[in-house]
């Protein structure tokens, strides 16, 4: 079995190379089917299959060489210590600040994130929104996508508010969007009442509400009750991945598990879905590496 063999090889090696059938020899075929080329039998597997395998083994996949019949794949083990999840968070070293590992991540360049987030914006009819609040804005990547898909004249009529605990990230966001209709606060989300915010017709929060420093359920309900307009919408992004050594690895990581364990993730998602449905919201769940809960009022 290939998986068992590669797992064993990677126990004592940082990288391994192996030769396989070139997936480009036939694109109208399923994984596992047999191809016979010059009296030699090959088992077909696509590039996606090999990429998935590399991800499961916590490796980068590199095509070392290629010819018309075969390719040589190199798997390099990821450095699991090279991850923002392991970074310290204190006043001197901001875990999510401008000089952090997290700040280097650009989710907008990951199709698994971008496609689902863009569809969530379309689902809430972003071009009809007037006041948008983003909690955990960091360097404002989510606003950048809105800027790209909304007509410029409409964008000028919209008001954007971003809040984050990281001072350097907020300073960066202010420079990125130096416009009158963009406002950024360096503030603790636990103390939103101190900002005297008016209600928004769209609230966005990507990977923030589940922070260990926040009371997830209470904060979520407070947002719906006190900061969302009666016929507003909400987009929540729940991370179902880890960032390791420059790679986005599928699957939520729970404490005391060596593999992906997603019970807490789905518990939180289900709580939000049920609560919003009781409040007369239409709720959809989309995405893969990030699960997007999108809710629109049907009152």
pLDDT over 80 (residue 139): yes
Check residue 89 and give its pLDDT: 60
Q: Is pLDDT at 92 greater than 70 in this prediction?
A: no
User: 182-186 and 59-66 as β-strands: parallel, antiparallel, unpaired?
Assistant: unpaired
Cβ-contact 293, 283 below 8 angstroms: yes
Instruction: State the architecture of 84-297 in CATH terms.
Output: 3-Layer(aba) Sandwich (3.40)
Rounded Cα distance between 187 and 173, Å, is 14
DSSP per residue, 184-212: EEE--GGGGGGG-PPPEEEEEEES-TT-T
Residue 88 is predicted with a pLDDT of 62
Residues 6+ apart with CB under 8 A from 60: 54, 75, 76, 78, 245, 246, 247
The H-or-E segment that residue 234 falls in is strand 228-239
Instruction: Tell which residue, 292, 298, 299, has the closest CA to residue 119.
Output: 292
Task: Using a pLDDT cut of 70, give the percent of the chain over it.
Answer: 98
Q: What are the residue ranges spanned by the domains of the chain?
A: 2-77, 84-297
Q: Which residues fall within 8 angstroms of residue 19, CB to CB, at 6 or more apart?
A: 70, 71, 72, 73
Indicate the range of 32-46, 81-95, 238-252 predicted with least confidence. Answer: 81-95
The SS3 call for residue 77 is strand
d(CA 245, CA 268): 27
pLDDT tens-place string over residues 215-266: 999 999 999 999 999 999 999 999 999 999 999 999 988 778 778 899 999 9
Phi, psi angles (nearest 5°) of residue 280? 70, 50
């Amino acid at each position: 079995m290939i998986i068992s063999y590669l797992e064993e090889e990677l126990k004592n090696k940082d990288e391994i190379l192996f030769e396989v059938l070139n997936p480009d020899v036939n694109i109208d075929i399923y994984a596992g089917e047999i191809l016979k080329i010059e009296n030699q039998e090959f088992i077909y597997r696509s590039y996606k299959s090999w990429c998935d395998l590399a991800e499961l083994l916590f490796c980068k996949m590199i095509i070392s060489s290629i010819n018309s019949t075969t390719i040589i794949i190199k798997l390099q083990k990821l450095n699991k210590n090279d991850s923002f999840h392991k970074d310290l968070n204190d006043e001197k070293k901001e875990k999510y600040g401008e000089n952090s590992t997290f700040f280097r991540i650009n989710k907008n360049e990951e199709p698994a994130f971008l496609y689902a987030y863009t569809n969530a914006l379309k689902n809430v009819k972003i071009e009809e929104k007037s006041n948008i609040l983003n909690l955990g804005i960091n360097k404002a990547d989510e606003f950048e996508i809105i800027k790209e898909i909304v007509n410029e004249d409409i964008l000028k009529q919209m008001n954007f508010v971003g809040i984050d605990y990281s001072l350097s990230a907020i300073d960066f966001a202010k420079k990125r969007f130096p416009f009158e209709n963009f406002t950024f606060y360096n503030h603790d989300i636990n103390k939103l009442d101190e900002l005297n915010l008016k209600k928004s017709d769209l609230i966005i929060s990507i990977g923030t509400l589940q922070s260990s420093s926040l009371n997830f359920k209470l904060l979520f309900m407070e947002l719906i009750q006190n900061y969302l307009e009666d016929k507003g919408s909400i987009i929540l992004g729940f991370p179902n991945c880890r960032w390791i050594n420059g790679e986005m690895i599928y699957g939520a990581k729970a404490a005391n598990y060596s593999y992906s364990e997603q019970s807490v993730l789905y518990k939180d998602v289900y709580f939000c879905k049920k609560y919003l449905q009781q409040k007369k919201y239409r709720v959809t769940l989309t995405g893969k590496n990030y699960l997007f809960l999108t809710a629109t009022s049907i009152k």
